[in-house]
Amino acid sequence: MKCFPIFIKDKPKNKNRGTGSVFETKNLAKSQDYSDSSQTSKSFQSSKSIPELYKEKQQNLRVFSLEELSDATNGFNRTLKIGEGGFGSVYKGTIKPLGGRGHPLVVAIKKLNTHGLQGHKEWLAEVQFLGVVNHANLVKLLGYCCADGERGIQRLLVYEFMSNRSLEDHLFNKTSTLLWKTRLEIMLGAAQGLAYLHEGLEVKVIYRDFKSSNVLLDESFKPKLSDFGLAREGPTGDRTHVSTAVRRFISHSRTVRTLMCFVLIYGWLLFKVVGTYGYAAPEYIHTGHLTIQSDIWTFGVVLYEIITGRRTVERNRPTSEQKLLEWVKNFPPDSKRFSMIIDPRLQNDYSFSAAQKVGQLAKSCLNKNAKERPTMSQVAERLKQAIQESQEGSNGVKKSHVTSSSRSSRRRSK
């Protein structure tokens, strides 16, 4: 079986522009650039791209056969499916150790839908980004499978298994409540992961899809960012932003611009492939320009989710409360009214002053002027302060990370 090839860099329009480098591994042939930005020759000389860094790192990613991963999931049995989204399905599987030595390893196997090139590009982006990054708050990629067969192209990724699912699963769970301190610790870990992507690599990385469902939790509720299919390299040299392919497409003709206006009006169809409704930064929506500040905006959205226990959009609520960011504007963090939007499931088991600090932080992340938003390093520091204040206000009793609804009901009855 032969892997489906595409090129890493688009052919340059200018003959003087560099073509970029190509990386090759056992099952990864030449690949097209998953990044939507075009780079100048100056940019190529001043910094290395993710594919170049991937080639240098030579991470020991294991190359799996389709048969191995099918056996690991009992033929991708539905009972082992633990997640599903636009990318495809995720299964819990058990793989045999290399050489047959050691204990079998429980893993998460993502099987991408590959109806077109987009699925392959997202798969390739994950392999390259996760083959370069190395941080405690980023999910670990163990290997991949790239196979072409009778059923078409097959693209799979094998990750470490995260036993506590995602922040979304716990935050919006009606049968249990994620404790306040645990919420802050999860957001701190996520902030540290984003800070690493923004500031800790030779090239800046825009995560682009930060949301509660992409924050996975291990057995100790330690958070790890997952799903790098939409990640992009940040701007290099004297550039201030990355322009998406959609934005460049819109600029080609007036007719196309008109058509795109209709698309925007009828349901956000344009942005389904580049993010999640309710999370995108305003400057990205209006211009198509991506910066690391776009990630900071989405972080602010999730901060309000952990404060309120509400999703960014909830159609079953009164009209004035359906859109989270519009609703919370009526309850500023520096007022007593702010307590009215704090998740009632917390049962007042939190520090109000710490909650106000987190609210102020969320508000600063959601500044419409992207330049005035804090960096992720600054966000992490302010979260540490909020955690410390929460600890000082607690009684020092060690608690589990969640409380069940039955425990909450017993507390109310007392």
Q: What confidence tens digit (pLDDT) does each residue in 231-255 have? A: 888 765 455 555 554 444 444 445 5
169 is catalytic: no
Q: Residues forming the annotated binding site?
A: 111
Q: Global pTM?
A: 0.79
Which CATH superfamily groups domain 167-413? Transferase(Phosphotransferase) domain 1 (1.10.510.10)
Helix (H) or strand (E) holding 44: helix 41-46
Distance (Å, rounded) from C-alpha 39 to C-alpha 12?
9
Fold of 1-161: Phosphorylase Kinase; domain 1 (3.30.200)
Nearest Cα to Cα of residue 344 among 286, 299, 405, 283: 405
Q: Is the pLDDT of residue 378 over 90?
A: yes
Q: In Å, how far from its chain's centre is CA 10?
A: 26
Helix (H, G, I), strand (E, B) or coil at 266: coil
DSSP state for residue 172 in the 8-state scheme? T
**Residue-level pLDDT at 85:** 73
Average pLDDT, the chain: 79
Q: In Å, how far from its chain's centre is CA 323?
A: 21
**Residue-level pLDDT at 86:** 67
DSSP state for residue 271 in the 8-state scheme? G
Give me the catalytic one of 209, 227, 295, 343: 209
Same fold across 1-161 and 167-413: no
DSSP state for residue 397 in the 8-state scheme? -
Q: Are 147 and 99 in contact (CB under 8 A)?
A: no
Tokens of 280: 């995108």
Lowest average pLDDT, out of 148-157, 193-202, 245-254, 403-412, goes to 245-254
Distance (Å, rounded) from C-alpha 355 to C-alpha 307?
7
**Residue-level pLDDT at 244:** 58
pLDDT in tens, 117-162: 567 788 888 888 888 888 999 999 999 998 876 667 889 999 999 9
Tokens of 275: 């993010």
Q: Please report, as a single letter, which amino acid is at residue 45.
A: Q
Helix (H) or strand (E) holding 144: strand 141-149
Helix (H, G, I), strand (E, B) or coil at 277: coil
Q: Are 394 and 167 in contact (CB under 8 A)?
A: no
Domain extents in the chain: 1-161, 167-413
Backbone torsion region of residue 20, taken as left when φ is above 0, otherwise alpha when ψ lies between -120 and 50, otherwise beta = left
**Residue-level pLDDT at 405:** 56
CB atoms within 10 A of CB 177: 25
Q: Residues forming the annotated binding site for ATP?
A: 111
pLDDT in tens, 90-124: 999 999 887 777 789 999 999 987 665 567 788 88
The answer for residues whose C-beta is within 8 angstroms of residue 230's C-beta and 6 or more apart is: 122, 125, 207, 208, 209, 274, 275
Q: At what angle do helices 352-365 and 376-393 cross, to 10 degrees?
A: 170
Top pLDDT among 370 and 259 is at 370
Q: Are 365 and 303 in contact (CB under 8 A)?
A: yes
Distance (Å, rounded) from C-alpha 196 to C-alpha 284?
22
Task: Over range 388-399, report the average pLDDT.
Answer: 71
pLDDT band of 84, cuts 50, 70, 90 = confident
Distance (Å, rounded) from C-alpha 105 to C-alpha 320?
48
pLDDT band of 50, cuts 50, 70, 90 = confident
